[in-house]
Structure 1
Amino acid sequence: MDGGYGELVRTRGVVRIIAAQLTARFPSGMLSLGLLFHVEGRTGSYGVAGVVLAALSIGQALSGPATGRLMGRLGIRPVVVVTTVLCAAAVTSIALLDLPPVGLTVLALLAGLTFPPITSAVRTIYPKLVPSSMLGPLFSLDASLQELIWIGGPVLVTFLATGVSTTAALVLSAVLLIGGGAWFAASREVGRVRIPRSKRRFGVVLLRPQVALMTVVGFLVIASCAAIEASVAGAFGEDDPTSGVVLAIWSLASLLGGFALGRLPMRPWSLTLRLVVVTVGVALTPFLPGFWGLTGALVIAGFGLAPALGLMSAIVSSSVRFSDTAEAYGWTNTGQLVGVALGAALAGQALDHFGAQTAFLCGAALAALATIAAAVGIPVSPDLKGRDAGPVPETAPIPLPPS
């Protein structure tokens, strides 16, 4: 790791806050699959498990902007601590209590509503942690390393659910929520950052064209990813571990792409070009069946994925005031969570009625729409070459008329 990344990891506090937030966010890669295994095992119904997962996603989608806004009013630490405790309690209750489907659904909704806003918090902290000139590489590094969550989380929860018990898998998720959340909240970097209270009404930040654009593009990108994940699982069957290997390689390719492309200058068309790479790879999936075909296609797609996600974070950061960043990231996260639900649902319907090839086509179509949306948004996308990616100042000089 050299150049920009070497300087980043030598910056005081960067490694510590990245490690803490990755630990706190690790349950994100465990909960969905853990709940699926647990609820299906308790009820014998994948339909009930799907409803419970939907409740979790709806709760997370609703809470994202609100908890982001609360961090500006109450502080990062209080919001993270309270939501972490409530979310861990809800997950533990699902794991340990013998509840009917309605009770499981209510608790899953509560877990989603109180899911700790670590992503919004840490991306709000980053501009205060490093010089603005290093924000682009830092966002790219963050987007790359988060792939470890989606590689390790599903593997760990599958091992525990099948080798020990689904209860153990969920309890470990709750333990990581508490441990990671406590580590993150106790970090001195969190204590040093105070988000100014926004003077704008809730939701007004969505009127910023860059925030609206990144919410739409993120929705479509993650919907495509969810559709592809479901399509891969459907192509190999639920009892074949090959699908997990393919998805892990996809995530590794994304991680490597983030490291390789993360330091490139960020121009208005950079997001579109990175999404073209994603779309090309995804578009090959309907026509390259089997392990090697799908792996090759998704390696291409993955190489552009983390760089695109990192650039999206930088665009949001550079386009809003610091007091609005947490809420802005809350909205973009909400768009991505809705994308997960839509992409998985579309692919599921396609798998049931038409087969895996059509399901892959759904993912390709969503990726193409994301690329088109990014291209349409080029005129409002910031040119960050030679510019800082830090937030817009809270105050600015007011030009006076000539005397």
Structure 2
Amino acid sequence: MRTYGEVLRVPGLARIIIAQLLARFPAGMYSLGILLHMEHQHGSYTAAGLVLAAFSVGMALAGPFVSRLMSRFGTVQVLAVTTLVSVTSLLAMATFAVPLYVDVIAGVIAGAAMPPVTPTVRTLYPRMVPQRLLSPLFSLDAALQELIWVFGPVLLTLLVSLLGTGPTMLVTIGIQFFGALFFMISPEVRRLRIPPTTRKLGRVLRKPPVLLSVVVSAMFIGGFSAVEAGVVATFGEGALEAGLVLAISALGSLVGGFTVGSRGLAPWSLAIRLAIVLLGMAIALPMTEVVGLSVALFIAGLGTAPALAAFSVIIASTVKFADTPEAYAWIGTGQLLGAAVGSAIAGVSIDAIGGVGGVWVAVVMVTLATLIAAIFRRHQPDMRHGISDPPDTAPVELPR
């Protein structure tokens, strides 16, 4: 914990962490919020799912392109424009009764224009701390983001019960707007200058560490989407038990992030962290009751935040500064696609053999992720002894 104290004593860092968490908090609310509001508007979960899929596809396809724009037009300018476009589209969805195709179009625009807060902050972090603190910082960030996925859906469900779906969407949009504004006015964000990249869109994927991180993180997140579907199917839609089990898994991620985060990344670290996740999911296979699944997924959670942190450290340590926003955006795109594939395959498996089908899909996907991370470990940095920074990524003192 002493290391985390050192991290948080870096001038301005605690404020940036709080600001980006607030700006990203609606990510834990929009999926369920859009689904419930569109079902209310159009009277069908099929229609609601179509709008939600459009929103997700917009985010996945536009993320890398939007992130590259920050080096051309400026960080704050891109954050401001995307926030306004996204908020406007979501406001239209929340307030107007329109045909389904209009909501689908609005969903695509809202998703495509989601402000690139995550690529921005993960590009900023290496400029604020020395490299020896990168691993604990990214681990702290990954652990704290569990708050988004634990409390976001809970808050949304509570607001829907009190206000209804439309007003709840307006509250969520308000959180996004003011969170993004708080993040944009932070001095560190306003001073961030990303040099123009000389690479064409997608060329950064030719770097083995980037492609490895995109593929492995996609399978990893796909596995978690599958196990979440399996847990919900085991206890039934809307069951309190499912939420409790998933919350305990998130608690495990928090514990794992704080416990492992201070350790430097080694070539075997990602595979080991994924193996911990795999162990927990394998233990969950025969479990059908709350206690057994909670213990198993708590163990899986212990490796979750450390694995997510590893992806960020790999990018920060191997990619030129000008290319890091796009690299982080590709990881986000991979994770969105992985979640979609994992959920889809899990759905087929659940229909065939029940809730355990989702867990089986998760075990297979995380096994593949672990094997790939182990086989291609030479493409992962060794930061145990303070290796030198890659070109153009050495931390610098931000002007005051």
- Shorter-chain TM-score bucket reads over 0.9
**How many Å separate the matches in 1 of 2:216 and 2:181?**
32
Partner of 2:73: 74
Shift of 1:392: 2.9
Q: How does 1:18-97 map to 2 (within 5 A)?
A: 18-97=17-96
Identity of aligned residues (%): 44
Deviation per residue, 1:238-275 (Å, 9 max, x gap): 13122111111111110111000001121100000000
Q: Partners of 1:90 and 1:84 in 2: how far apart?
A: 10
Gaps of 5+ in 1: 396-403
Judge conservation of contact 2:19–2:183 (CA < 8 Å) in 1.
yes
Q: Which residue of 2 aligns with 1:191?
A: 190
109-118 vs 377-386, greater mean Cα deviation: 377-386
Corresponding position: 1:104 with 2:109: no
Amino acid in the other structure paired with 2:58: G
Separation in 2, partners of 1:364, 1:157 = 30
For 1:245, the equivalent position in structure 2 comes to 244
SS at match of 1:81: helix
- After superposition, what is the alpha-carbon deviation per residue over 1:51-85, rounded to whole angstroms, capped at 9, x for unaligned? 11111111000111111111111111011111111
| C-alpha contact 1:127 1:390 (8 A) present in aligned 2 | no
Matches within 5 A, 1:285-324: 285-324=284-323
Give the Cα–Cα distance (whole angstroms) in 2 for the partners of residues 137 and 14 of structure 1: 13
Q: Distance in 1 between matches of 2:127 and 2:120?
A: 12
Q: 1:296-316 CA deviation, whole Å, 9 max, x = no partner?
A: 110000000000100110001
- In 2, the alpha carbon distance for the partners of 1:394 and 1:3 equals 26
One-letter amino acid of the structure 2 residue matched with residue 301 of structure 1: A
* Equivalent pair of 2:124/2:189 in contact (CA under 8 Å): yes
Shift of 1:24: 0.4
3-state DSSP of counterpart to 1:318: helix
Q: Specify the alignment match of 2:282 in structure 1.
A: 283
Measured after TM superposition, the shift of residue 393 of structure 1 is 2.1
Give 2:397's aligned residue: none
Q: Are residues 263 and 283 of structure 1, via their aligned partners in 2, closer, same or farther at CA, if it must alter by over 3 Å?
A: same
C-alpha separation in 1, matches of 2:285 and 2:388: 38
> Is the CA contact (8 Å cut-off) linking 1:286 and 1:360 kept in structure 2?
yes
Separation of aligned partners in 2, 1:393 and 1:16: 26
Which runs of 5 or more structure 2 residues have no equivalent in the other structure? 395-400
1:317 and 1:389 in contact (8 A); partners too:
no
Q: What is the rounded CA distance, in whole Å, between the counterparts of 1:394 and 1:162 in structure 2?
A: 48
CA 1:44/1:388 → structure 2, altered by over 3 Å: closer, same or farther? Answer: farther
Compared CA separation, residues 390 and 290, structure 1 to 2 (3 A): farther
8 Å CA contact retained: 1:80, 1:116: yes
Report if aligned partners of 2:280, 2:297 keep a CA contact under 8 Å in 1. Answer: yes
Aligned match of 2:144:
145
Give 1:21 deviation, angstroms: 0.4
Per-residue deviation, residues 127-178 of structure 1 (Å, max 9, x unmatched) = 1111122111111111010000001101011111233211122111110111
Q: What SS does structure 2 have at the residue aligned with 1:382? A: coil
Deviation at 1:351, TM superposition (A): 2.1
- Listed as ranges, the matches of 1:392-403 within 5 Å are 392-393=391-392
CA distance in 1 between partners of 2:129 and 2:345 (Å)? 41
Q: For 2:281 and 2:178, how far apart are their aligned partners in 1?
A: 37
Relative distance call for 1:391 and 1:164 in structure 2 (3 A) is farther
| Counterpart Cα distance in 2 of 1:43 and 1:232 | 28
Using the alignment, how far apart are the partners of 2:200 and 2:371 within structure 1? Answer: 31
* Inter-partner Cα distance in structure 2 for 1:290 and 1:218: 29
Quick check: 2:232–2:355 contact (8 Å CA) kept in 1?
A: no
Q: Return the alpha-carbon distance in structure 1 between the equivalents of residues 53 and 387 of structure 2.
A: 39
SS at match of 1:273: helix
In 2, Cα distance between the equivalents of 1:357 and 1:376? 29
Question: What is the rounded CA distance, in whole Å, between the counterparts of 1:386 and 1:275 in structure 2?
Answer: 23
Cα deviation code 1:60-117 (max 9, x no counterpart): 0011111111111111101111111111111111111112221111111111100110
* TM-score when normalising by structure 1: 0.95
Look up the match of 2:398.
none
Contact 2:132 2:264 in 1 (8 A): no
Separation in 1, partners of 2:387, 2:43: 53
Matched to 1:377, the amino acid is F
Match of 1:355 in 2: 354
Q: Contact 2:126 / 2:393 at 8 angstroms: preserved in 1?
A: no
Deviations 1:355-394 (A, max 9, x none): 1111210111111111111112112111111125855327
Residues 213-234 of structure 1: CA deviation (Å, up to 9, x unaligned): 0000110011011111111111
What is the CA–CA distance in structure 2 between the aligned matches of 1:349 and 1:197, rounded to whole Å? 45
Q: Is the 8 A contact 1:210 1:380 kept in 2?
A: yes
The answer on whether the counterparts of 1:135 and 1:390 sit within 8 Å (CA) in structure 2 is no
**Aligned equivalents of 2:347 and 2:393: distance in 1?**
45
- Number of the residue aligned with 2:200: 201
Could you tell me which residue of structure 2 aligns to residue 274 of structure 1? Answer: 273
| SS in structure 2 of the partner of residue 267 of structure 1 | coil
Cα distance in 2 for partners of 1:310, 1:392 equals 21
Using a 3 Å threshold, how does the CA distance of structure 1 residues 391 and 351 change in structure 2: closer, same or farther?
same
Q: What secondary structure is seen at the aligned counterpart in 2 of 1:60?
A: helix
CA separation in 2, counterparts of 1:302 and 1:100? 41
CA distance in 2, matches of 1:370, 1:131: 30
Q: 2: CA distance between counterparts of 1:389 and 1:234?
A: 48
The count of aligned residue pairs is 394
The answer as to whether partners of 1:218 and 1:336 remain within 8 angstroms in 2 is yes
CA distance in 2, matches of 1:275, 1:11: 30
Q: Which residue number in structure 2 is paired with residue 175 of structure 1?
A: 174
Normalised to the residue count of structure 2, the TM-score between the two structures is 0.96
User: Secondary structure at 1:287's aligned position in 2?
Assistant: coil
Equivalent residues of 1:133, 1:389 under 8 A apart: no
Q: Distance in 2 between matches of 1:367 and 1:118?
A: 27
CA contact (8 A) 2:197 2:322 kept: yes
